[in-house]
Amino acid sequence: MKFTVVTILPELVEPALAAGVVGRAREAGTIAVGTVNPRDFTSDRHRTVDDTPYGGGPGMVMKAEPLLAAIAAAVGVEPAHRILLTPAGRPLTQARVRELAAAHRHLVLVCGRYEGVDERVIEHAIDEELSIGDYVLSGGELGALVVIDAVARLVPGVLGEPASADEESHSAGLLEYPQYTRPPKLVLAVAGDESVPDASLSGVVREVPPVLFGGNHAAIASWRRRQSIERTARRRPDMFARFAPAKADRKLVTPLHARTHLALVHHPVHDRTGAVVTTSLTNFDIHDLARSSLTYGLAAYHIVTPITSQREKAEHIARLWLDDTPARPPPSSGSRANALALVRTADSIETVVAELTAQYGRPPRIVATSARTTSFPGAARCTPEELRAAATVAGLGEERPEPLLLLLGTGWGLADDRIPNVAYLLSPIEGTADWNHLSVRSAAAILLDRLFGRASG
């Protein structure tokens, strides 16, 4: 594979390609890397490649003529994929790296400088814009080196062990598991060692996990997979939100949606004056939230009201759909009858907690929702991504994983001072208008989709 870097500072590029994996692959002829300098395509004695921007403003802009000529020279006669390294580009991901390695034999990496390049260069001579992160560098050279290193590793013959690329971070949508080598026991410091910045570490011994010594390859693979899942959930909730567990992963962690219970709370809630009241149940509350619960694979849907007649109403409506009469065919897995089968009733939140504690052998982690950021001051604030990651970590390796109880308030919201032991408060759903008062059914659907919906694409 061939890489050509278009840069006015080739001296920044060449030294970085002389050592390591890329350097060895270059020496072996597995990859070829060259540079083209736009200054070589100027006609004035100063070799000028920049000028002031039209319309005014600070800094300079790279001129179109020498840059276009340099790109053309870099491409040559064979097809090439032309990439501009710029903060305005598409973020570089491991998936895109794989695509570049598989689809192209020659990458031309154009390095901008100053305030950027003349837009006409991008329109005429660039196939793709890439960014290596949401920050600004002095130029595109470091970005070009990142692309070369990442793509070259996937070229056959570059890595000594081809399987190494398959188990690295990001390769399977997860961060890589921890790695260890000799010695099996590591003494971090001895008492009184002034070179240790944290005196609490003096004499601490760190050992390699015993599973790695046992020679049981299945157990090692399982341990590594679990570590990858946990590390990704803790460090990169954004990445974990896109992670689709494989069938084998179900042995490591019970899917969060399957141990999540949704509760629609009719008491204690506030009315518009701030008083604590009990709201009435509606037919829509029963049907719509039951269907949402089934759509996202929840364990159950609880209707919480201290009014006996309201609970009986919910149970009666659910039974109407569950009656196995000759006139109604057996329900399919996606029928409304299956949705109504998820409906449970309780006279209080405490009753729901007690039922789940008996069912799972441990109390649920309670998550509240509110349109107000000031609600539940003692609870940790989190996004749906962060909640999903934290709750997944809590269930890893547990025979009886912790259930999740998601509270939705009716009326003007949950009476937070009447509901103890709330661990998390989900960030409010915010629209573009000043008014923020979604129906509870709409809010529930949005939250469940953010927690458990499949990522688009």
Q: Measure the CA–CA gap between 124 and 397, rounded to whole angstroms.
A: 54
CA distance 239 to 70: 38
pLDDT in tens, 138-166: 999 999 999 999 999 999 999 866 656 65
Q: What is the pLDDT of residues 216-229, one digit of tens each?
A: 999 999 999 999 99
Owner of token pair 């695509």 = 99
- The percent of residues in the chain predicted with pLDDT above 70, rounded, is 91
CA 452 – CA 256 distance, rounded (Å): 8
Domain 205-252: state its class. mainly alpha
User: Could you write out the DSSP letters of every residue in 370-421?
Assistant: -S-TTSSTTSEEE-HHHHHHHHHHHHTT-SSPPPEEEEEE-TT-B-GGG---
Nearby residues of 340 by Cβ (< 8 Å), 6 or more positions away: 286, 287, 290, 317, 318, 321, 322
User: Which residue, among 15, 25, 123, has the nearest Cα to 68 in the 3D structure?
Assistant: 123
Rounded CA-CA distance 162/36 in Å is 31
Q: What pLDDT sits at residue 200?
A: 61
Residue pair 60/52 in contact by the 8 Å Cβ criterion: yes
Pairing relation of β-strands 404-409 and 365-368?
Answer: parallel
User: How far, rounded to the nearest angstrom, does the alpha carbon of residue 8 sit from its chain's CA centroid?
Assistant: 37
Could you read off the pLDDT of 106-135 as tens digits, one per residue? 999 999 999 999 999 999 999 999 999 999
With tokens 């789940």, the residue in question is: 356
What distances in angstroms separate CA 415 from CA 215, 280, 370, 434, one per listed residue?
55, 16, 10, 23
Helical (H) or strand (E) element with 94 = helix 94-103
pLDDT at 290 over 70: yes
The pTM score is 0.76
Backbone angles phi, psi at 301, to 5 degrees: -125, 120
Q: Name the residue among 131, 120, 107 with its Cα closest to residue 67.
A: 120
**CA 432-434-435 angle, 5° bins:** 105
Percentages of the chain per state (helix, strand, coil), in multiples of 5: 40, 20, 45
- Contact by Cβ (8 Å): 376, 425: yes
Coil, strand or helix: which one is 37?
Answer: coil
Q: How confident is the model at residue 326 (pLDDT cuts 50, 70, 90)?
A: very low
- Beta strands 380-382; 422-426: pairing state: parallel
Residue 330 backbone class (left: φ over 0; alpha: ψ -120 to 50; beta: rest): beta
Q: What pLDDT is stored for residue 197 in this prediction?
A: 58
Q: Position 204: which residue type?
A: V
163-187 burial code (b ≥16 CB/10 A, e <16): eebeeebbbbbbbbbeeeeeeeeee
Name which of 249, 228, 251 is nearest 240 in CA terms.
Answer: 228
- The CATH T-level fold of domain 2-166 is Alpha/beta knot (3.40.1280)
Distance CA 317, CA 283 (A): 8
pLDDT at 325: 45
Half-sphere exposure of 69 (CA within 13 A, CB side): 13
Which of 284-305 are b and which e, b meaning 16 or more Cβ less than 10 Å from the residue's Cβ?
Answer: ebbbbbbbbbbebebbbbbbbb
Residue-wise pLDDT tens digits, 21-66: 999 999 999 999 999 999 999 999 999 999 999 999 999 999 999 9
Region 329-348 average pLDDT: 82
Tell me whether the CATH fold assigned to 2-166 matches the one assigned to 205-252: no
Which pLDDT value is given to residue 362? Answer: 95
Q: Which of 32, 44, 41, 31 is nearest to 7 (CA)?
A: 41
Q: How much is the pLDDT for 457?
A: 41
Where do the domains of the chain lie?
2-166, 205-252, 256-452
Question: Which one is predicted more confidently, 324 or 424?
Answer: 424
**Average per-residue pLDDT in the chain?**
91
* Whether the Cβ atoms of residue 240 and residue 230 lie closer than 8 Å to each other: no
pLDDT digit string (tens) for 369-415? 999 889 999 999 999 999 999 998 888 878 889 999 999 999 999 99
Cβ atoms of 364 and 357 closer than 8 Å: yes
What's the pLDDT score for residue 123? 97
CA distance 129 to 87: 9
Average pLDDT over residues 197-204: 64
Per-residue pLDDT band at 323 (split at 50, 70, 90): confident
pLDDT for res 254? 82
CATH class, range 256-452: alpha beta
- Once rounded to an integer, what is the mean pLDDT over residues 166-193? 78
pLDDT given at position 106:
98
